[in-house]
Amino acid sequence: MAGFDSRGTFQKAANEYTKIQDTFPHVIRDPLLADMAVKEGDRILDLPCGTGDAIVRAAQIAGPTGHALAIDVAPSMIEEAKAKAEAAGLKNIEFVVEDMEKAQFDAAAYDIVVSSCGPFFASDLKAFLTKLWGAVKPGGKLVLCTLGRNFLAPISGVLLDLAQSKTDDLQAPTPWRSTEDIRFLKTLLGEVTNGQRVNLAHRSVIMDYQTPDAGWNLLMATAFRNYTLELSPESRAEIEAEMKEWMRSNRQTTATCGFNNITIVKDDA
């Protein structure tokens, strides 16, 4: 079977992703906004922007003198983000559907460049991070959030076991493993930024999803949805039923997520 399909996965996950972001703002959005520390008039670049949870709020803070460019490969994610911006009455935000590695934007033009839970999908991580760093203007900052170890444990492991049990050739690529190692991240970012100070904080968050239905929706809002894309409808239905029964019988209502939050300020020219 095919490898990891980022576009297909998140094109189908937009609705669940929005609900999860709204239910658990403290997991990704709020810490990200705290690291961004947006000021009025800031120019902000966000890719991949997902359903716009952070960038729409950031654009509100930046105000009419600021500007935000939000990029994502999945049209459904961009549509969700546009709806949020329209509901907020924002005119200072531009949305683009594009692969994050192919996206075009000005160099040294942004006060804040942010990439949350996306860098690990890059085919060349160092080149992608270098491209992001090049977009940061002197005195600006690069803000990243990557997944740490134990992403949605223990339910993620159960899902992978069930998915692989339904087919003989299902591969289980986990691209986020490339950025879960803190030492690797610091070393790589040191090379990308020519030795700028890397501020990295690890967080471990418990998500209380409360019901098996909500636990399944949580999985389907994330990259783990990828492993159901090429299965037959019958196999997907079996996996969903077995996952929910496992959560019920084990009284499992929480999942642990590790995150690495990174901020790097570029020296003034």
pLDDT given for residue 5 in this prediction: 63
Percent of the chain at pLDDT exceeding 90: 67
**Cβ-Cβ contacts under 8 Å for 236 (sequence gap 6 or more):** 228
Range 6-148+176-206+259-265 has CATH code 3.40.50.150: yes
pLDDT given for residue 153 in this prediction: 93
Element (H, E) at 10: helix 6-23
Give the model confidence (pLDDT) of 241-260 as tens digits. 999 999 999 999 999 999 99
Cα separation of 52 and 46, whole Å?
Answer: 9
Average pLDDT score over residue span 184-193: 94
Report whether 190 contacts 198 (CB < 8 A).
yes
Average pLDDT for the chain: 90
pLDDT band for 12, please (50, 70, 90 cuts): low
φ, ψ of residue 189 in degrees (nearest 5)? -70, -30
Residue boundaries of the structural domains of the chain: 6-148+176-206+259-265
Mean pLDDT check: name the lowest of 91-100, 134-143, 173-182.
173-182
Cβ neighbours, 10 Å, residue 7: 15
Residue 138, pLDDT > 60, answer yes
φ, ψ of residue 80 in degrees (nearest 5)? -60, -45
Give the model confidence (pLDDT) of 202-221 as tens digits. 999 999 999 999 999 999 98
Cα separation of 123 and 119, whole Å?
Answer: 9
Cα separation of 77 and 127, whole Å?
Answer: 24
Cα separation of 40 and 25, whole Å?
Answer: 22
Report whether 200 contacts 248 (CB < 8 A).
no
Percent of the chain at pLDDT exceeding 70: 92
pTM: 0.89
pLDDT given for residue 170 in this prediction: 66
pLDDT given for residue 48 in this prediction: 93
pLDDT given for residue 112 in this prediction: 98
Give me 192's structure tokens.
Answer: 């990308």
Strand partners, 73: none
Give the model confidence (pLDDT) of 42-57 as tens digits. 999 999 999 999 999 9
**Cβ-Cβ contacts under 8 Å for 174 (sequence gap 6 or more):** none
Residue 27 vs residue 246, higher pLDDT: 246
Residue 182: C-alpha distances to residues 30, 127, 146, 149 (Å): 21, 19, 10, 10
Give the model confidence (pLDDT) of 60-78 as tens digits. 999 999 999 999 998 998 9
Looking at 24-73, list the stretches that DSSP marks H as alpha helix, in order from N- to C-terminal side. Answer: 29-36, 53-62
